[in-house]
Structure 1
Amino acid sequence: MPYFPKPAEGSWTERYPELGTGTVDYGDSIDPAFYEAEREAIFRRSWLNVGRIERVPRVGGYFTKELAVVGTSLIIVRGKDQKIRAFHNVCRHRGNKLVWNEHPGEESAGTCRQFTCKYHAWRYGLDGRLAFVQQEEEFFDLDKSAYGLKEVACEVWEGFIFVNLDPQESLQEHLGELGKGLEGYPFHEMTEVYTYNTEVGSNWKLFIDAFAEFYHAPILHHKQAVQGEADKLKNHGFEALHYELFGPHSMVSSWGGMAPPKDPSMVKPIERALRSGLFGPWDRPEIEGLDELPPAINPSRHKSWGTDSFIIFPNFMLLVWAPGWYLTYNYWPTAVDRHLFEANLYFVPAKNARERLGQELATVTFKEYALQDGNTLEATQTMLASRAVTEFPVNDQEILLRHLHRVARKRVEEYNDAAAR
């Protein structure tokens, strides 16, 4: 995977002439008709990350996933053959939701030998086959083999589970060069998980925009840093180490997050005590796979590298941190101006109380930063919707934003063109 250092003259954006350098139209974030087209053109036809294999560690392990953007609910389950499958969460008898607890709209998880409908007790095996029909003799020539659960394409990459309701390509083809470049990172060792989720009053792409550039960091987050470091960032700005596009996907590589800091005054007392902070625990875990990183991670091999952010189109972000942990973001649209934001932080399991508290400190610190990023979104959505301004300039550091909106528009245009033929 080649590394292209930024030239003395020129820019990252201009390395990709198809992007252009003009203003960006944010109509794709406020137009209800465009959102409806996205649902079909993008979310129904793309590979969507729904979790990790650790959520179904043994035979019969399952969880449900509500996908409002495509109007369905899925069951993800590990079968007796160890294969992970996905099914529409609907009974084939009368269309009742098959797996749910007290509230049908909430997600659930557990372990079972079979799935039994709460309405009329039809039963399905872990492979989706219809196994039992209550009072089967009352039906007319019922062929149980024809009434198994409706399966959804499901594939696993590096422990991440993806589904696709209408696949146009394999998961491997979708991930392409980026997927190959990340293979081998020890994701499987980082099984201690901390989770946040909330509904955000903005278009799904706007929150991705917020995390896809660091141009905002010295301004929006300056109060979270100690005064001296905050002033340096605010006065001199921030520039990342590397940007790259991979088909519909993209990444930004940044400095920061090196641990421990050379100057203890750079961090807060609690961070010194727990040897942890926003960039995660300072002490790297003793696991294989962190010394020789896959080529897509820290592609510049910069000694000051701290974190890489990968946008896996359409709505999955994967952030790998130098101290040896990672986090994921999922942005699930619920309307043109609303989405469900999910964040998961993954660490190697702690060996003692200090390590556990260090992970918890990193987790709550992350939440404060995320709240600051999210705080701007509803205001942005409101003013975009006013259409008082429709064209916006974006700078070289905002190349991933320019790319995301271009890809979304292109996918919708191609889908509409095909539908019109």
Structure 2
Amino acid sequence: MATKWPKPAQGSWTEHYPDLGTGPIPFRDSISPEFYALEREAVFKRAWLNISRVEETPEAGSYITRQIEAADASLLLVRDREGRIRAFHNLCRRRGHALVTPDFRATELRSTGDEFECRTCGWRYSLDGTLTALPDADQFSGLDTADYGLLPVQCDVWAGFVFVNMNPKPDQSLREFLGPMVTALEDYPFDRLTERYDWVAHNNSNWKIFADAFQEYYHVPSLHTQQVPPEVRDPNAGFTCGHFQLDGPHRVVSTAGTRRWLLAPEYMYPIERATQSGLVGPWRTPDIGELPAALNPGGIEPWGISNFQIFPNLEILIYGGWYLLYRYWPTSHNTHRFEAFTYFHPARTVRERIEHEVAAVVLKEFALQDAGMLGGTQAALEYDVIDDYPLSDQEILVRHLHKMSVDWVQAYQNSRAGAGV
């Protein structure tokens, strides 16, 4: 049964979450190398992190690699003979050589067949990580192969999304961590939307600064003037989202949508008009069945998009007949890797394939308009000439993300102090 959530009155979002406060916030969690060092330990080595979807490792022996710099990890993700997806540290147990070559794109499907073999020393491992053979085994005194399997990483799957947790004993199961607001989405037909387009951007900003851009629409009239209709382009039009909601460390923002915008040619590229596809995706999408009520928790009519932001660094933006996936991977206190994925139903015609490709390109352009501001924002914050910055009522999710990061770091520090570390 879907969870019923209160719908705050217009202009009163922060009043319904008093723990967040209403005053300015400092953003120093985004400019401090010392805070980032703690954030790596407190967040990225303890939270559940989405690293793939099940379609990326479809058959036994298929695998991908993932680099998680913020967790000091190079991971190997493989589907075993029983159909289970397993995660391991990508290193051979003999002398720590990389078991397989990390792939730059980190999403290119490869197959190992029945086993992995270290190309440096010839040690061989089964798909479940067991060490099965090694050259000149009798030269290793007292070696028990049962003690030298690949090092596993906690791995679980929800709705086809593969998550890992670097903590050997996570504080919560994946489902407990996600909570009712997110898990209520599991009936959405993610498994039917498997045509994927992806790209990666390396940004000179803290990872949270880019995430902030997708948590509010206050900036839209000023920054995205070319891609929004006249009534939104007016900075004083009062354009805002229809619904904000928090559940534990996670957030959702929903807004209305209307096909009326599609008929405003002055804000579209010619290719959008020609293909009838673009910023809001293909204008026509196939029937993918009844959508879960949790997709539009605020009951917005006409509903357009809901962006579910799963702490710390995952966003699932659902448009109804297709969806986007964003991940923000910190690489230092002021740099990060942004990964974007667009998912559609498999194209049935050449026209549908073109519609999907046009949508993916236009959406990339829209996101890069936000990305283009990141370096300047980061540099200005690092001057540290202003103590804090005001946030509007509709920037409640920005306030929440930064508070969650600070809270997780504080809890980590408290636990270490309590343990006498």
SS in structure 1 at match of 2:281: coil
The residue that corresponds to 2:153 in the other structure is 152
1:401 aligns with 2:402: no
Contact kept, 8 Å, 1:308 with 1:320, in 2: the verdict is yes
The residue that corresponds to 1:39 in the other structure is 40
Question: Counterparts of 2:59 and 2:346 in 1: how far apart (Å)?
Answer: 19
Question: Counterparts of 1:265 and 1:329 in 2: how far apart (Å)?
Answer: 28
Residues 329-385 of structure 1 show CA distances to partners (whole Å, capped at 9, x for unaligned) of 000000000000000000001111111111111111111111110111110110111
The residue that corresponds to 1:368 in the other structure is 365
SS in structure 1 at match of 2:305: strand
In structure 2, relative to structure 1, the CA distance for the partners of 1:374 and 1:264 (3 Å cut) is closer
Question: Counterparts of 1:142 and 1:235 in 2: how far apart (Å)?
Answer: 73
1:359 aligns with 2:356: yes
1:298 aligns with 2:309: no
The residue that corresponds to 2:88 in the other structure is 87
Q: TM-score, normalised by structure 2?
A: 0.94
In structure 2, relative to structure 1, the CA distance for the partners of 1:211 and 1:261 (3 Å cut) is closer
Residues 274-297 of structure 1 show CA distances to partners (whole Å, capped at 9, x for unaligned) of 121101011121322xx3x22321
Query: For 1:7, which of 6, 9, 32 is the aligned residue?
Result: 9
SS in structure 1 at match of 2:348: coil
SS in structure 2 at match of 1:309: strand
SS in structure 2 at match of 1:24: coil
Question: Counterparts of 1:419 and 1:212 in 2: how far apart (Å)?
Answer: 32
1:416 aligns with 2:419: no
1:216 aligns with 2:214: no
Give the length in aligned residue pairs: 411
Q: Once the 2 structures are TM-superposed, how far is the Cα of residue 266 of structure 1 from its aligned partner?
A: 6.4
Question: Counterparts of 1:133 and 1:405 in 2: how far apart (Å)?
Answer: 49
The residue that corresponds to 1:377 in the other structure is 374
Question: Counterparts of 2:151 and 2:7 in 1: how far apart (Å)?
Answer: 49
SS in structure 1 at match of 2:381: helix
| Map 1:55-74 → 2, pairs under 5 A | 55-74=56-75
The residue that corresponds to 2:322 in the other structure is 325
Gaps of 5+ in 2: none
Question: Counterparts of 1:276 and 1:93 in 2: how far apart (Å)?
Answer: 53
In structure 2, relative to structure 1, the CA distance for the partners of 1:276 and 1:106 (3 Å cut) is closer
SS in structure 2 at match of 1:134: coil
Question: Counterparts of 2:5 and 2:173 in 1: how far apart (Å)?
Answer: 27
In structure 2, relative to structure 1, the CA distance for the partners of 1:11 and 1:225 (3 Å cut) is closer
Paired amino acid for 2:273: R
Q: Once the 2 structures are TM-superposed, how far is the Cα of residue 46 of structure 1 from its aligned partner?
A: 0.6
Residues 244-298 of structure 1 show CA distances to partners (whole Å, capped at 9, x for unaligned) of 0000001000112x4475745466343233121101011121322xx3x223211
Contact kept, 8 Å, 1:260 with 1:275, in 2: the verdict is no
Contact kept, 8 Å, 1:274 with 1:355, in 2: the verdict is no
The residue that corresponds to 1:140 in the other structure is 141
Question: Counterparts of 2:32 and 2:306 in 1: how far apart (Å)?
Answer: 32
The residue that corresponds to 1:187 in the other structure is 190
RMSD: 1.7
Residues 70-89 of structure 1 show CA distances to partners (whole Å, capped at 9, x for unaligned) of 11100110000101100000
The residue that corresponds to 2:334 in the other structure is 337
In structure 2, relative to structure 1, the CA distance for the partners of 1:208 and 1:173 (3 Å cut) is same
Q: Once the 2 structures are TM-superposed, how far is the Cα of residue 3 of structure 1 from its aligned partner?
A: 4.1
Gaps of 5+ in 1: none
SS in structure 2 at match of 1:334: strand
Among the aligned pairs, what percent are the same residue? 45
Question: Counterparts of 1:66 and 1:213 in 2: how far apart (Å)?
Answer: 29
The residue that corresponds to 2:181 in the other structure is 178
Question: Counterparts of 1:106 and 1:55 in 2: how far apart (Å)?
Answer: 12
| Map 1:43-54 → 2, pairs under 5 A | 43-54=44-55
1:111 aligns with 2:111: yes
In structure 2, relative to structure 1, the CA distance for the partners of 1:169 and 1:246 (3 Å cut) is same
In structure 2, relative to structure 1, the CA distance for the partners of 1:216 and 1:262 (3 Å cut) is closer
SS in structure 2 at match of 1:50: strand
The residue that corresponds to 2:311 in the other structure is 313
Q: Once the 2 structures are TM-superposed, how far is the Cα of residue 304 of structure 1 from its aligned partner?
A: 1.5
Question: Counterparts of 1:149 and 1:164 in 2: how far apart (Å)?
Answer: 16
Paired amino acid for 2:154: A
Q: Once the 2 structures are TM-superposed, how far is the Cα of residue 7 of structure 1 from its aligned partner?
A: 2.2
1:127 aligns with 2:128: yes
In structure 2, relative to structure 1, the CA distance for the partners of 1:389 and 1:58 (3 Å cut) is same
Contact kept, 8 Å, 2:231 with 2:237, in 1: the verdict is no
Question: Counterparts of 1:264 and 1:351 in 2: how far apart (Å)?
Answer: 28
In structure 2, relative to structure 1, the CA distance for the partners of 1:100 and 1:264 (3 Å cut) is same
Q: Once the 2 structures are TM-superposed, how far is the Cα of residue 395 of structure 1 from its aligned partner?
A: 0.6
Contact kept, 8 Å, 1:275 with 1:281, in 2: the verdict is yes
Question: Counterparts of 1:207 and 1:229 in 2: how far apart (Å)?
Answer: 26
Q: TM-score, normalised by structure 1?
A: 0.94
